[in-house]
């Protein structure tokens, strides 16, 4: 996720302080990985330097002065361009799990155990996400569906790999 573009998009509804941006980000996108304040302010500094935001006002506070940021026309154009650009599909051709399976075979360890352990971990996470989806609002349901679909694809791969483990062992140990 592009944090800069996300913060710019949040600014389109009106000027905000860094604290407000962090809170809005965490509420909409950061339930699993909240944004750190330092990340907000370093991103805002970069966006300011690049002319994508401007300081709309400065207010004294209990600590440092509070800057209120507003998106510029260039920032709006940048967000529009980012939204219109499709994300590159990730083919997962450098999978850590695949590497573990091959290394287990190369070192004469039980690759089936690795697949079984991973399957259990995927199923555990799927139960958690299914429960979260059941209790969540529509936005939470959609993000959980996204994760669940990826986990289901991983499970299909785990089953396929387990079924081909003997053939894979022949190929990689030659």
Residue 42 pLDDT grade (very low, low, confident, very high; cuts 50, 70, 90):
very high
Q: Which of 34, 155, 12, 173 is nearest to 102 (CA)?
A: 173
Res 126: pLDDT: 97
Residue 157 pLDDT > 90, yes or no? yes
Q: Is the pLDDT of residue 61 over 80?
A: no
In the prediction, which pLDDT does 30 show?
Answer: 79
How does residue 86 score in pLDDT terms, banded at 50, 70 and 90? Answer: confident
- Residue 1: what pLDDT? 63
Q: pTM higher than 0.85 for the full model? A: no
Q: Tell me how far apart the alpha carbons of residues 7 and 19 are, in angstroms, rounded to a whole number.
A: 12
């Amino acid at each position: 996720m592009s944090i800069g573009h996300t913060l710019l998009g949040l600014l389109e509804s009106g000027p905000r302080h860094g604290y407000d941006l962090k809170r809005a980000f965490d509420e909409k996108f950061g339930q699993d990985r909240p944004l750190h304040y330092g990340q907000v302010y370093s991103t805002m500094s970069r966006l300011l330097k690049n002319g994508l935001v401007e300081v709309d006002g400065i207010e004294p506070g209990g600590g440092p002065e509070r800057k209120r940021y507003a998106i510029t026309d260039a920032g709006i154009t940048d967000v529009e361009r980012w939204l219109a650009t499709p994300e590159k599909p990730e083919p997962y051709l450098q999978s850590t799990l695949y590497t573990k399976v091959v290394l287990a075979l190369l070192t004469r360890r039980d690759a089936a155990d690795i697949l079984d352990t991973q399957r259990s971990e995927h199923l555990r996470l799927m139960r958690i996400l299914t429960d979260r989806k059941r209790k969540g609002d529509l936005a939470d349901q959609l993000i959980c569906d996204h994760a669940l679909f990826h986990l289901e694809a991983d499970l299909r791969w785990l089953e396929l790999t387990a079924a081909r483990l003997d053939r894979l062992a022949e190929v990689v140990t030659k």
